Structure 1
Amino acid sequence: MTREIRSWLSDMDGVLVHEGTALPGAAEFVTALRDAERPFLVLTNNSIFTPRDLAARLRTSGLDVPEHAIWTSALATAQFLTDQMPGGSAYTIGEAGLTTALYEAGYTLTSSSPDFVVLGETRTYSFEAITQAIRLIQGGARFIATNPDVTGPSADGDLPATGAVAAMISAATGRQPYFVGKPNPVMMRSALNRIGAHSETTVMVGDRMDTDVVAGIEAGLHTVLVLSGSTRREDVERFPFRPSEITDSVADLVARV
């Protein structure tokens, strides 16, 4: 790295953990960040869980990440909506991570003439809830989605995710959502603001070119692609942009914290 690095942003799945198991070097990487008192955040597009839930899950994996060091697409969405319309109202499709973030941001959750329809991740998508969202959007509610991911991982294979359900609602309404999560730089800027970091002195570590790396590039960060997740080295050539560097895993970054 040629820049002076003071702060770190890291994706979670594929960088620190995989299906509930810590990846090689992840525990040492987190410990190094905490021991050096480096400002850092663990980022995830998953809007299902609250930071407290995710911190508990990471502890089970052997990673000691405090909840204040976790930034989800749900939190970024709540921050975005607060900036757009403080004290507004929203009809939500999602779980505790999203509803808690909106509630704590001062939003009223309602199905009666909401300002926004906010779509997040859930494992129990309801036809009735989707129908309600479609009618509210047709009635004038603005359409927001926490993240554009069309599939999510599970032990049995891919699951339909926020982006896929958003496409269905868009097909029915003719309205495209505004996606807040990665790769939108909005999520990256909100993360930087949360830890008081500057883009010139911050690294983004991720395992996906189409979300982590491009988001870091567009936010002006130094980007590190790790090969411990979904992207292989040969995949990089398919993209019209490149990370600042490529490494096997976060184990290679421990000594550089």
Structure 2
Amino acid sequence: MTRTIESWLTDMDGVLVHEGHAIPGAAEFIKTLRDKERPFLILTNNSIFTARDLRARLYASGIDVPESAIWTSALATAQFLSDQIPGGSAYAIGEAGLTTALYEAGYTLTESDPDYVVLGETRTYSFEAITKAVRLILGGARFICTNPDATGPSAEGPLPATGAVAAMITRATGREPYFVGKPNPMMFRSALNRIDAHSESTAMVGDRMDTDVVAGIEAGLHTFLVLTGSTTVKDVDRYPFRPSTVVDSVANLIERI
């Protein structure tokens, strides 16, 4: 049975853009969603940048999206914490994307007896900040991470990212963090709630089997795997699950909108 798709979730890197350049068909895909007034969100595990920052980066590549259509792991984390302990406090390790999201969710950022230690991505992890996090967690703070990615890209090659630093803190404290971002379907459910969409009529477009596709399946979505990112057709058979549909790129999905 073919599902009627009314709402769309899509990954950003590898689906819409690659190294700052729009993937062919991406701008038309987003324009068609907007022209037909389809509810959609662009999802990213990147917690460094605010939605405003990412909107500007997409616009520079030729993709025009409103700030409200971008949902980061930092925003999902802030929403999760606000639901758990409204008006709580956190010691945050991260960049403006994370601290701004927490602040706008009504959270107090503090180093003194916080409810949570929240670890996000940053290009400048400091030993002092990690040590502070370890001591606060041992003192009773709950341990939350924006996403589990072990490495992040850079022009020089892979960089240690949130998941790698989280492993170091876990080794020092014996406490496992709760990861909010992909592949946790929690991030998808929060995105569905944000655009008032239902899983039965929503599709997820991604380029990674181990995050986008598996989380989409677990959230009950129709999953499209595009081959413009990190996954090849041969890679698909290595996994014990399959996407609903495999396409070359988002250009192939415009007619499905």
TM-score (norm: length of structure 2)? 0.99
- Structure 2 partner of 1:213: 213
Letter in 1 for 2:234: E
| Alpha-carbon distance, 1:256 to partner | 1.2
For the residue of structure 1 that corresponds to 2:74, the secondary structure is helix
For the residue of structure 2 that corresponds to 1:10, the secondary structure is strand
Over residues 193-230 of structure 1, what are the superposed CA-to-partner deviations in whole Å (9 max), with x where a residue is unaligned?
A: 00010000000000000000001000000000000000
- Structure 1 partner of 2:93: 93
| Alpha-carbon distance, 1:113 to partner | 0.3
- Structure 1 partner of 2:156: 156
Count of residues in Structure 1 that have an aligned counterpart in Structure 2: 257
Letter in 2 for 1:190: S
Letter in 1 for 2:228: S
| Alpha-carbon distance, 1:242 to partner | 0.3
- Structure 1 partner of 2:59: 59
- Structure 2 partner of 1:17: 17
| Alpha-carbon distance, 1:24 to partner | 1.1
Alpha-carbon distance in 2 for matches of 1:244, 1:167: 33
Deviation beyond 4 Å, 4+ runs, structure 1: none
- Counterparts of 1:209-248 in structure 2, within 5 Å, are 209-248=209-248
Over residues 27-62 of structure 1, what are the superposed CA-to-partner deviations in whole Å (9 max), with x where a residue is unaligned?
A: 110111011100000000000000000000000010
Conserved? CA contact 1:7–1:40, under 8 Å: yes
For the residue of structure 1 that corresponds to 2:101, the secondary structure is helix
Alpha-carbon distance in 1 for matches of 2:251, 2:154: 25
| Alpha-carbon distance, 1:83 to partner | 0.7
Over residues 49-102 of structure 1, what are the superposed CA-to-partner deviations in whole Å (9 max), with x where a residue is unaligned?
A: 000000000000100011000000000000000111001000000000000000
Alpha-carbon distance in 1 for matches of 2:227, 2:117: 36
- Counterparts of 1:119-130 in structure 2, within 5 Å, are 119-130=119-130
| Alpha-carbon distance, 1:255 to partner | 1.3
| Alpha-carbon distance, 1:153 to partner | 1.1
- Counterparts of 1:108-119 in structure 2, within 5 Å, are 108-119=108-119
Question: Quick one: percent identity of the two aligned structures?
Answer: 80
For the residue of structure 2 that corresponds to 1:62, the secondary structure is coil
| Alpha-carbon distance, 1:156 to partner | 1.8
Alpha-carbon distance in 2 for matches of 1:232, 1:158: 20
Alpha-carbon distance in 2 for matches of 1:74, 1:195: 17
Conserved? CA contact 1:25–1:251, under 8 Å: yes
- Structure 1 partner of 2:6: 6
| Alpha-carbon distance, 1:247 to partner | 0.5
- Structure 2 partner of 1:253: 253
Gaps of 5+ in 1: none
Alpha-carbon distance in 2 for matches of 1:158, 1:13: 15
Conserved? CA contact 1:146–1:181, under 8 Å: yes
Conserved? CA contact 1:8–1:40, under 8 Å: yes
Alpha-carbon distance in 2 for matches of 1:46, 1:11: 11
Alpha-carbon distance in 2 for matches of 1:12, 1:232: 17
For the residue of structure 1 that corresponds to 2:137, the secondary structure is helix
Conserved? CA contact 1:19–1:155, under 8 Å: no
Q: Does 1:171 align with 2:171?
A: yes
Alpha-carbon distance in 1 for matches of 2:22, 2:168: 35
For the residue of structure 1 that corresponds to 2:237, the secondary structure is helix
- Structure 2 partner of 1:198: 198
Gaps of 5+ in 2: none
Letter in 2 for 1:224: F
Letter in 1 for 2:26: A
Alpha-carbon distance in 1 for matches of 2:94, 2:186: 20
Over residues 179-200 of structure 1, what are the superposed CA-to-partner deviations in whole Å (9 max), with x where a residue is unaligned?
A: 0001111100000000010000
Letter in 2 for 1:21: H
